[in-house]
């Protein structure tokens, strides 16, 4: 394939667009959520997710069955909050277990995962919230001196007026699609819903309701695909898998996902206007995006 054709597949005008290849390995017609369920049925007792960092008090081991159960719990909590099929949920956090569970849970409920660079400051966060039509933001309170909550509240002072983040949503003229912020960790801030409360809400949504929602999520090529205009997600019909974590995967998942330490696995791709980081090899880039799959 010529270089010009490859370039046209990734850029169209000022939009970065991913298109399905029409050559090479045949894709599996299955969503990410369904694939997790298949793996849990095939190898329920095999380890799937391992975090072992005693220096920061983090020691977690989940089998495929355990990972599926936790992802389902998060998914039911998201449904209880009113997350609908196609809603854009942004995730601003470093390498935490909740990151992986949210990735799986959002795939199950058919929401669009919008990943946010942990180096972003207030101005860049403002751009993402507006351009990506974010409905819900899940965030940690701070990282490496970057106070995300302060930046968010500077952009959305309406959050301080929320007394019950479970039943009340935000109405903002600046960000018309934004409704709620969910806070990871043990700290609490007025107007932000603790992630632990989201998990508690999961009991109000049945397993049958989640199964019905998950069945409505499909990787069919005729479904709308999400295109990114440097953060904006637009619904268009396109002959490509969904770009919202529902795209078909190329091969079955492997046995264990080992997550690298927080300090080594938080970086995202540089945003336009940022200085680029020193080059890293392919293995390091893969670690930073999704952990080391062994």
pLDDT given for residue 218 in this prediction: 85
**HSE value, Cβ hemisphere, 13 Å, CA-based, for 252:** 10
- Residue 267 resides in a domain: no
- 293, part of any domain: no
pLDDT score for 129 = 96
Q: What are phi and psi of 105, to 5 degrees?
A: -65, -40
pLDDT of res. 55 = 83
What pLDDT is stored for residue 44 in this prediction?
A: 96
Domain count of the fold of the chain: 1
Mean pLDDT by 10 residues, the chain (294 residues): 47 66 73 94 94 86 96 98 95 94 96 95 96 96 95 96 94 95 94 97 97 89 38 35 37 39 34 44 56 46
Q: Residue 277: what pLDDT?
A: 47
Residue 28 DSSP class: P
The CATH number for 122's domain is: 3.40.50.980
Helices (H), the chain: 3-10, 32-42, 64-80, 97-109, 122-131, 148-155, 195-201, 207-215, 282-290
pTM check: above 0.85: no
Residue 183's domain comprises: 31-39+64-254
Give domain status of residue 246, yes or no.
Answer: yes
Q: Say what the pLDDT of residue 282 is.
A: 56
């Amino acid at each position: 394939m010529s270089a010009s054709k490859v370039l046209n597949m990734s850029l169209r005008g000022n939009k970065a667009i991913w298109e399905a290849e029409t050559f090479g390995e045949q894709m599996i017609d299955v969503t990410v959520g369904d694939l997790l369920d298949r793996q849990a049925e095939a190898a329920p007792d095999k380890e799937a997710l391992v975090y072992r960092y005693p220096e920061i008090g983090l020691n977690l081991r989940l089998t495929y069955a355990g990972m599926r159960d936790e992802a389902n719990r998060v998914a039911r909590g998201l449904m209880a909050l009113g997350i609908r099929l196609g809603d854009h949920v942004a995730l601003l956090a470093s390498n935490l277990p909740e990151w992986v569970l949210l990735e799986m849970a959002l795939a199950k409920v058919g929401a669009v995962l919008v990943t946010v660079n942990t180096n972003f400051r207030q101005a860049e966060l403002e751009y993402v919230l507006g351009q990506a039509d974010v409905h819900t933001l899940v965030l940690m309170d701070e990282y490496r001196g970057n106070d995300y909550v302060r930046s968010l509240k500077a952009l959305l002072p309406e959050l301080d007026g929320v007394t019950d983040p479970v039943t009340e949503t935000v109405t903002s003229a600046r960000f018309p699609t934004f409704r709620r912020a969910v806070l990871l960790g043990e700290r609490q801030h007025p107007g932000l819903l603790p992630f632990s409360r989201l998990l508690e809400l999961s009991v109000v949504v049945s397993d049958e309701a989640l199964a019905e929602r998950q069945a409505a999520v499909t990787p069919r090529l005729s479904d709308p695909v999400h295109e990114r205009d440097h953060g904006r997600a637009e619904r268009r019909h396109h002959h490509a898998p969904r770009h919202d974590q529902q795209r078909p995967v190329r091969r079955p998942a492997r046995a264990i996902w080992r997550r690298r330490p927080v300090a080594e696995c938080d970086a995202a791709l540089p945003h336009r206007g940022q200085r680029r980081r020193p080059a890293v090899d392919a293995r390091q880039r893969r670690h930073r995006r999704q952990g080391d799959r062994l």
